[in-house]
């Protein structure tokens, strides 16, 4: 174990609670609550981290304490009535039995939420200042509203204690109601709650005082806050130190959980949930600055994904507890693996932001590279061995094939994997060549290392043929050959190149480039950035309303920032209808999707992104001799049963297709295809 890492296993005492180590997960809203309650899925998700050795897991990001802070938007937890208490008790039992502590985050979102949901109540804030992220124009709070919300916080605190939770934090981070009062740009009040910092701190003091009265001195109450909102009219680092110090001095908080930035608009949101474009631990200094001034434990999260950085943060005294929140979404068994000297087996978070981005489009948090997370009821993190060992041949060493090989090897099968290239990784390895997306390569590195360790027979640089496969006498053949890039079927498609070819290096455009994006994903934006960095004059056009429309909330701003910085011309609502040659150049015809008016661009190259078409030749060549005719039995797949072909006494090999070899989708879909099929093989 890394020498510093030992410090992570030193227990931390807060009041009567002993947290067994210094590693935690901060509260987040994974979108798993149902009807405002953390039910089985939610509880199992955190229990898995507890089983995996975590010291403290905090659930219920943004759990609401009152009816005008609706719990619906991200399927949050509602703590506004006593009906929540039995759920807390069941949850606490589930986590405590594995030795971890369990806390929740309580909040009122104020203006940082929507009014057109749940009870359709107007949102409230210290003053009538519109929030760009939620687009809500709030009502300014009357003193009666202030009193009501304080009472609601106190009632919620009582419910936490009655529910057997080890404590809670209130959120004064990400622009919730508490920090709306602190933040001078949002709090324009002229009464006792506005103006001086002392006045702006008052609301929080009154909330915490009422909560303390409700739960008693021995119960753990903490606060999450920004150590610097990074805004001209926001809470500065000095303000943050003053707030933390004052609340701690009054005995109102037993820990402070510090982060950097806030989330009131697109770019600041991306900064507060730093993805792979950001360095590791970008805001540790803010937590450290507060740690120097307060005598209560300091927690901190924000892109601490590796054990060395986590250990350094604690060993050097910057913080007391290190939160590795997304790191646990990627690998809930992180702590045990570290304790067992299996650091290399930790599936490290790559900072893709797929988990967080999904909740802003009404989805649930899923990890791009770990399909078991959030599906603990049906998908194992530890793969059990099969009763029967089979001979499995996998064709394709992209992420779908690698995951299939990993899971099959853990099942105890004999696995041969054919990959025509000299290295594994397929499209993900190619995508990782694009600028700030480099960390995607971590997904492949981990899978590759695991399959080698598990003794998978890797046949790199070998193009699989039906004969080569037959020579292995397989019981199972899994085709994971991925997809080839489409160039679309518009007139002139023979004159264009696909975006992937740029990253592969098979085409090297110079001069002016029209890059057309039909998908709205990372691919085209990444290639536009690469081309512009190389000095091309790039126009990026799409028929969509927005550039990179499908890229999520914490990733799209980073693409846009790069595209603007690089001077790429952005043309939404422009559909490519035709390309033709004119002398030595190309003419791209673009149709405005709103007006139907056509425009032409004369350029040196047209590059297009139309997604993938399956590479399926081998599948069809193998299908005719397959015992199951290549068909995956979908009811068996969805119910987690062995494929019927095995029960029927199979004659010949069973054939399956996974990932983009079936239909072009994404990394998570490829991995999920592999995991859910192979866990029952």
DSSP helix/strand/coil, 550: coil
Q: Pairing between strand 574-582 and 585-592? A: antiparallel
Decide which of ligand FMN, ligand SF4, none touches 224; Cβ closer than 5 to 8 Å per partner kind: ligand FMN
Nearest to ligand FMN of 273, 579 (CB atom): 273
Label residue 613 left, alpha or beta by phi (over 0 means left) and psi (-120 to 50 means alpha): beta
CA 171 from centroid of its chain's CA atoms: 20
Decide which of ligand FMN, ligand SF4, none touches 28; Cβ closer than 5 to 8 Å per partner kind: ligand FMN
Instruction: Return d(Cα 32, Cα 48) in angstroms, integer.
Output: 15
Decide which of ligand FMN, ligand SF4, none touches 354; Cβ closer than 5 to 8 Å per partner kind: ligand SF4
In the bound complex, which residue of the shown chain has the CB atom lying closest to ligand FMN? 61
Cα–Cα nearest to 658, from 673, 668, 644:
673
22-30, 282-290, 452-460, 626-634 -> range binding ligand FMN (CB under 6 A)? 22-30
Alpha helices in 52-191, H assignment, sequence order: 85-96, 143-162, 177-182
Q: Whole-number minimum distance, CB 334 to ligand SF4, in Å?
A: 11
Q: Whole-number minimum distance, CB 521 to ligand SF4, in Å?
A: 15
Count of Cβ atoms closer than 10 Å to residue 40 Cβ:
15
Q: Whole-number minimum distance, CB 330 to ligand SF4, in Å?
A: 4
Nearest to ligand FMN of 117, 423 (CB atom): 117
Check binding of 325 to ligand FMN (CB under 6 A).
yes
Q: Where are the beta strands (DSSP E) in 358-432?
A: 391-395, 414-419
Q: Which helix (H) or strand (E) holds 362?
A: none
Nearest to ligand FMN of 124, 355 (CB atom): 355
Check binding of 269 to ligand FMN (CB under 6 A).
no
Contacts to ligand FMN from residues 164-193, by CB under 6 A: 171, 173-174
Q: Whole-number minimum distance, CB 275 to ligand FMN, in Å?
A: 9
Q: Whole-number minimum distance, CB 657 to ligand FMN, in Å?
A: 31
Q: Whole-number minimum distance, CB 45 to ligand SF4, in Å?
A: 12
Q: Whole-number minimum distance, CB 352 to ligand SF4, in Å?
A: 3
Instruction: Tell me the β-bridge partners of 546.
Output: none
Q: Whole-number minimum distance, CB 301 to ligand FMN, in Å?
A: 3
Nearest to ligand SF4 of 41, 623 (CB atom): 41
Rg (CA), the chain: 27
Check binding of 323 to ligand FMN (CB under 6 A).
yes
Contact in structure between 470 and 460 (CB atoms under 8 Å): no
Contacts to ligand FMN from residues 340-379, by CB under 6 A: 355-356, 359, 365
Q: Whole-number minimum distance, CB 474 to ligand FMN, in Å?
A: 40
CA 304 from centroid of its chain's CA atoms: 14
Decide which of ligand SF4, ligand FMN, none touches 301; Cβ closer than 5 to 8 Å per partner kind: ligand FMN
Contact in structure between 108 and 178 (CB atoms under 8 Å): yes
Nearest to ligand SF4 of 123, 330 (CB atom): 330
With 0-12 / 13-18 / 19 or more C-beta atoms within 10 angstroms meaning exposed / middle / buried, residue 511 is: exposed
Alpha helices in 276-424, H assignment, sequence order: 284-291, 307-315, 325-330, 334-339, 354-359, 399-410
DSSP secondary structure letter of residue 78: B
Nearest to ligand SF4 of 101, 671 (CB atom): 671
302-310, 465-473, 509-517, 672-680 -> range binding ligand FMN (CB under 6 A)? 302-310
Q: What angle, rounded to 10 degrees, do the helices at 143-162 and 197-215 form?
A: 40
Decide which of ligand SF4, ligand FMN, none touches 259; Cβ closer than 5 to 8 Å per partner kind: ligand FMN
Nearest to ligand FMN of 166, 419 (CB atom): 166
Instruction: Return d(Cα 47, Cα 42) in angstroms, integer.
Output: 9
Per CB under 6 A, the list member of 14, 19, 27, 201 interacting with ligand FMN is: 27
Decide which of ligand FMN, ligand SF4, none touches 368; Cβ closer than 5 to 8 Å per partner kind: ligand SF4
Nearest to ligand FMN of 107, 481 (CB atom): 107
Residues contributing to the site for ligand SF4 (CB under 6 A): 326, 329-330, 349-355, 367-369
Q: Where are the beta strands (DSSP E) in 9-55?
A: 12-14, 17-19, 23-25
Instruction: Return d(Cα 5, Cα 403) in angstroms, integer.
Output: 29
Size of the site for ligand FMN (CB under 6 A): 27
With 0-12 / 13-18 / 19 or more C-beta atoms within 10 angstroms meaning exposed / middle / buried, residue 648 is: exposed
Question: Which residues, other chains included, contact 9 with Cβ-Cβ below 8 Å and sequence gap of 6+?
Answer: 21, 22, 339
Nearest to ligand FMN of 331, 448 (CB atom): 331
DSSP helix/strand/coil, 585: strand
Decide which of ligand SF4, ligand FMN, none touches 369; Cβ closer than 5 to 8 Å per partner kind: ligand SF4
Contact in structure between 514 and 607 (CB atoms under 8 Å): yes
Check binding of 302 to ligand FMN (CB under 6 A).
yes
Decide which of ligand SF4, ligand FMN, none touches 367; Cβ closer than 5 to 8 Å per partner kind: ligand SF4
Q: Whole-number minimum distance, CB 449 to ligand FMN, in Å?
A: 23
Decide which of ligand FMN, ligand SF4, none touches 530; Cβ closer than 5 to 8 Å per partner kind: none
DSSP secondary structure letter of residue 8: G
Instruction: Return d(Cα 273, Cα 268) in angstroms, integer.
Output: 9
Contacts to ligand FMN from residues 36-65, by CB under 6 A: 61-62
Per CB under 6 A, the list member of 7, 22, 24, 28 interacting with ligand FMN is: 28
300-308, 371-379, 434-442, 455-463 -> range binding ligand FMN (CB under 6 A)? 300-308
| C-alpha distances out from residue 186 to 34, 39, 115, 124, 138, Å | 32, 35, 18, 12, 11
Q: What angle, rounded to 10 degrees, do the helices at 667-678 and 399-410 form?
A: 20
15-23, 47-55, 189-197, 295-303 -> range binding ligand FMN (CB under 6 A)? 295-303
Nearest to ligand SF4 of 124, 355 (CB atom): 355
Check binding of 303 to ligand FMN (CB under 6 A).
yes
Nearest to ligand SF4 of 109, 327 (CB atom): 327
3-state DSSP helix/strand/coil % of the chain, to nearest 5: 35, 20, 45
Q: Whole-number minimum distance, CB 225 to ligand FMN, in Å?
A: 10
Residues that bind ligand FMN (CB under 6 A): 26-30, 61-62, 105, 171, 173-174, 224, 259, 273, 301-304, 323-327, 355-356, 359, 365
């Amino acid at each position: 174990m890394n020498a510093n890492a030992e410090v992570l296993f030193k227990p931390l005492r807060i009041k009567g609670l002993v947290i067994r180590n210094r590693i935690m997960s901060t509260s987040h809203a994974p979108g798993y609550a149902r009807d405002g309650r953390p039910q089985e899925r939610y509880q199992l998700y955190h229990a898995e981290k507890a089983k995996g050795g975590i010291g403290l897991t905090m659930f219920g990001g943004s759990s609401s304490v009152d009816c005008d802070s609706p719990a619906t938007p991200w399927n949050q937890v509602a703590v506004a009535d006593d009906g929540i208490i039995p759920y807390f008790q069941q949850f606490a039992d589930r986590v405590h039995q594995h030795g971890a502590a369990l806390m929740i985050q309580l909040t009122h979102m104020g203006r940082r939420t929507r009014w057109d949901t749940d009870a359709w109540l107007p949102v409230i804030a210290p003053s009538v200042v519109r929030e760009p992220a939620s687009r809500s124009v709030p009502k300014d709070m009357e003193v009666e509203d202030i009193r009501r919300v304080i009472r609601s916080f106190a009632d919620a605190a009582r419910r936490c204690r009655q529910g057997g939770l080890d404590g809670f934090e209130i959120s004064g981070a990400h622009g919730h109601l508490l920090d709306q009062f602190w933040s001078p740009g949002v709090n324009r009040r002229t009464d006792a709650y506005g103006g001086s910092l002392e006045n702006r701190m008052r609301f929080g003091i009154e909330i915490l005082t009422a909560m303390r009265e409700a739960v008693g001195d021995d119960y753990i109450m903490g606060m999450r806050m920004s150590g610097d909102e990074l805004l001209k009219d926001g809470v500065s680092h000095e303000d943050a130190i003053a707030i933390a110090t004052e609340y701690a001095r009054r005995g109102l908080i037993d820990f402070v959980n510090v982060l950097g930035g806030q989330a009131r608009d697109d770019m600041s949101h991306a900064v507060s949930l730093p993805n792979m474009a950001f360095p590791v631990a970008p805001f540790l200094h803010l937590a450290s600055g507060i740690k120097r001034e307060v005598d209560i434990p300091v927690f901190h999260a924000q892109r601490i994904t590796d054990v060395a950085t986590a250990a350094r943060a604690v060993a050097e005294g910057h913080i007391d507890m290190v939160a590795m929140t997304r790191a646990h979404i990627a690998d809930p068994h992180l702590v045990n693996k570290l304790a067992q000297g299996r650091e290399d087996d930790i599936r490290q978070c790559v900072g893709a932001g797929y988990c967080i981005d999904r909740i802003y489009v009404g989805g649930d948090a899923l990890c791009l590279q770990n399909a078991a997370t959030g599906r603990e009821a049906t998908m194992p993190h530890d793969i059990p061995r099969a009763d029967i060992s089979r001979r499995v041949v996998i064709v394709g060493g992209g992420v779908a094939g690698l995951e299939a090989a990993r899971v099959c090897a853990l099942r105890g099968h004999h696995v041969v994997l054919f990959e025509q290239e000299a290295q594994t990784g397929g499209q993900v390895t190619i995508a990782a060549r694009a600028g700030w997306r480099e960390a995607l390569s971590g997904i492949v590195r981990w899978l590759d290392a695991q399959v080698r360790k598990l003794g998978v027979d890797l046949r790199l640089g070998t193009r699989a043929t039906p004969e080569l496969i037959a020579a292995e006498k397989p019981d199972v053949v899994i085709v994971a050959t991925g997809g080839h890039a489409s160039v679309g079927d518009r007139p002139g498609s023979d004159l264009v190149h696909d975006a992937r070819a740029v990253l592969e290096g098979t085409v090297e455009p110079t001069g002016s480039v029209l890059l057309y994006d039909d998908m709205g994903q990372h691919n085209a934006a990444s290639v536009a950035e690469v081309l512009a960095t190389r000095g091309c004059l790039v126009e990026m056009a799409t028929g969509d309303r927005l550039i990179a429309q499908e890229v999520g909330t914490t990733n799209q701003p980073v693409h846009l920032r790069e595209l603007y910085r690089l001077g790429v011309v952005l043309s939404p609502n422009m559909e490519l209808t035709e390309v033709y040659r004119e002398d030595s150049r190309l003419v791209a015809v673009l149709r405005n999707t709103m007006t139907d008016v056509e425009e032409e661009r004369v350029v040196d190259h047209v590059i297009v992104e139309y997604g993938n078409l399956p590479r399926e030749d081998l599948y069809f060549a193998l299908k005719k001799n397959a015992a199951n005719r290549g068909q995956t039995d979908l009811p068996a797949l969805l119910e987690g049963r062995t494929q019927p072909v095995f029960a029927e006494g199979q004659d010949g090999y069973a054939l399956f297709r996974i990932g983009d070899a079936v239909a072009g989708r994404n990394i998570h879909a490829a991995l999920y295809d592999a995991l859910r099929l192979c866990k029952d093989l």
